[in-house]
Structure 1
Amino acid sequence: MNQGQLETLIFILNDVDLLNEVLRAWEEQGVRGVTVLRSTGLGRIGNALYRDDAPLFPSLRELLEDDEMHHFTLLSVVQSSQVEHLVAITEQITGSLNKPNTGFIVTMPVGRVFGGTRNFE
């Protein structure tokens, strides 16, 4: 089966309230498999240390349990030809990814895919 060029699309979504809308939009564009991870970044951890309501000696565990500390990381393997359109659809929901606190998208080429029942045609 000729799968064409595949890319792993990685999207860090800062506004957790937009997750369902993004997933729905991607599915409407033919994206069938998305792994969603709850994640945080160094910037959020660093900022949390300087909040007025932060404990004097917060533990990393306490910081990571704080719901305000999280965003979502979405992972999917898609056709290279879909990437630009998926970015545009995503920005219709999030606003420009060039603006602060929206998120960012990174893609990487995929050499091969093993397992699963994914159809990339």
Structure 2
Amino acid sequence: MELLIFILNDSDTLEKIMVEFANMGIKGSTIIDSVGMANVLSGCEEFSLFSSLSMLMNNGRTSNYTVLTVLKKERVSKALEIINDVTGGLDKAGTGIAFTVPLGQVIGGSFN
């Protein structure tokens, strides 16, 4: 099993990804409101440059979404493909990031 973690800025993108995940048979994800480092530093006088950078990169948004999804290893590639397709590519600045972490044991939940 793998833990897919992705951080996105756009709630519309998140909703579309969740719909595609459901269509793929992924039954659950945990979604957490989160704040990036640039937003935290934007209020700090020493790093006032971060304020303008943060606003540019996030189109004025002050929060983003961290999504946690436990998947069988063979489903990770398809999930990442969905994320990239819906967002137009995570390689675009300010879009987000995705990565996986291998899981040793998982108790609870149901996974296809």
TM-score by length of 1: 0.74
* Correspondence for 2:56: none
How many residues are paired up?
100
Q: 1:75 to 1:107 in 2, by over 3 A?
A: same
The structure 2 residue matched to 1:85, chosen from 53, 56, 78, is: 78
Alpha-carbon distance in 1 for matches of 2:39, 2:24: 31
Q: Please tell me the residue identity of whatever aligns with 2:110.
A: N
**2:4 equivalent in structure 1:** 9
Flag the structure with higher helix content.
2
Distance 1:23 1:87 in 2: 12
Give the alignment of 1:23-102 within 5 angstroms: 23-47=18-42, 50=48, 51=51, 68-102=61-95
* Alignment check: 8 A CA contact 1:45 1:69 kept: no
SS in structure 1 of the partner of residue 106 of structure 2: coil
- 13-22 or 72-81, larger mean C-alpha shift: 13-22
Match of 1:119 in 2: 110
Q: Which residue type is aligned with residue 44 of structure 1?
A: N
Output the aligned Cα RMSD.
Answer: 1.9
Is 1:10–1:75's contact at 8 Å kept on the other side of the alignment? yes
Q: Provide TM-score, normalisation by structure 2.
A: 0.79
Deviations 1:71-110 (A, max 9, x none): 0011010011111111111111101111111111110011
% identity of equivalent residues: 32
Gaps of 5+ in 2: 53-59
